[in-house]
A and B are shown apart, each in its own frame.
Chain A
Amino acid sequence: MEKNFKQTSRSGSIPWLLQRISAVILFILLLFHFITYHFLTQTRSVAYLQVMKRAQSWWFPLLQFMFLITALYHGLNGVWSVLEDYTTSKFWRLVWYSLLLTVGTVLLFVGTLTIIKLYTLKIA
């Protein structure tokens, strides 16, 4: 009995809650993102100056970075919960978990670099 209670801290209830919190944040951010970047910029060509101007306003790095970490967390934690359902061996769980962590780190690095580069790029 006692042993079972000790294991509740590893029950996954915190990732479960974070998955739902990130879902609510993403619901709002993603609809906003789609409206501004996919619907309203739809002309024959996407204007470079318009995009760069927006990428260099003060709120852009903050919002995009928040968007990036929320989306990566939600997505990779989602993949993890699918894998957890079908992987019972401790070895393969470790392999998958490490792989997801690596993918997450690489994408976080690439994404953050893009945000910083867009923010600091000199517009001709």
Chain B
Amino acid sequence: MYKRTRFYDFTYYNFIGTWAWVLHRLAGLALIFYLSLHVWVISSLTYGEKTFNEVMAFLSSPLFKLLEVGLWGVILFHAFNGVRIVVVDFFKGSLVQKKLFIVLIALAFFLWALGSFMLLRHAF
């Protein structure tokens, strides 16, 4: 019998892969929560120009811009760690998964900075 791995078994938290796994799940849960809200809010854009402008004005406030920057970061983390998962599962990436994590997260961080600039340049 093997010992079952549990998320509160802290001996596993010395590994980069465990953190990637935990954060990937948390990011994923946050994103499906956001997607639900997103689908719901976007449905209110179909009631003509007046409602559309009201909703968009509400969503263009600095607070929502900052939340959007956070969202972009969560998406990039999940997406680029997702690339790592696919490479590990299909292309023998397990041999280089730690290096892969660092390289991909660095790339994601670069895109996050770039995107955040694009999002915030008209916000304030």
Contact = CB atoms under 8 A, between A and B. Distances in A.
A and B associate in one complex: yes
B80 to A, nearest CB: 9
Q: Range of interface residues on chain A?
A: 35 or more
Contacts of B79: 26-27, 30-31
Nearest to A42: B122
A23 B86 contact: yes
B29 A20 contact: no
A114 interface: yes
Contacts, number: 85
B95 interface: no
A44 B122 contact: yes
B45 A114 contact: yes
A78 B49 contact: no
Interface residues of B, number: 35
Interface in B34-80: 35-36, 39-40, 42-43, 45-46, 48-49, 52-53, 56-57, 60, 68, 72, 75, 79
A53 to B, nearest CB: 13
Given A46-B60, A121-B46, A124-B49, A24 B86 contact: yes
Contacts of A42: 118-119, 121-122
Given A30-B79, A124-B49, A82 B36 contact: no
A38 B56 contact: no
Interface of A: 20, 23-24, 26-27, 30-31, 34, 38-39, 42-46, 48, 51, 68, 71-72, 75-76, 78-79, 82, 103, 107, 110-111, 113-114, 117-118, 121, 124
Interface of B: 25, 28-29, 31-32, 35-36, 39-40, 42-43, 45-46, 48-49, 52-53, 56-57, 60, 68, 72, 75, 79, 82-83, 85-86, 89-90, 115, 118-119, 121-122
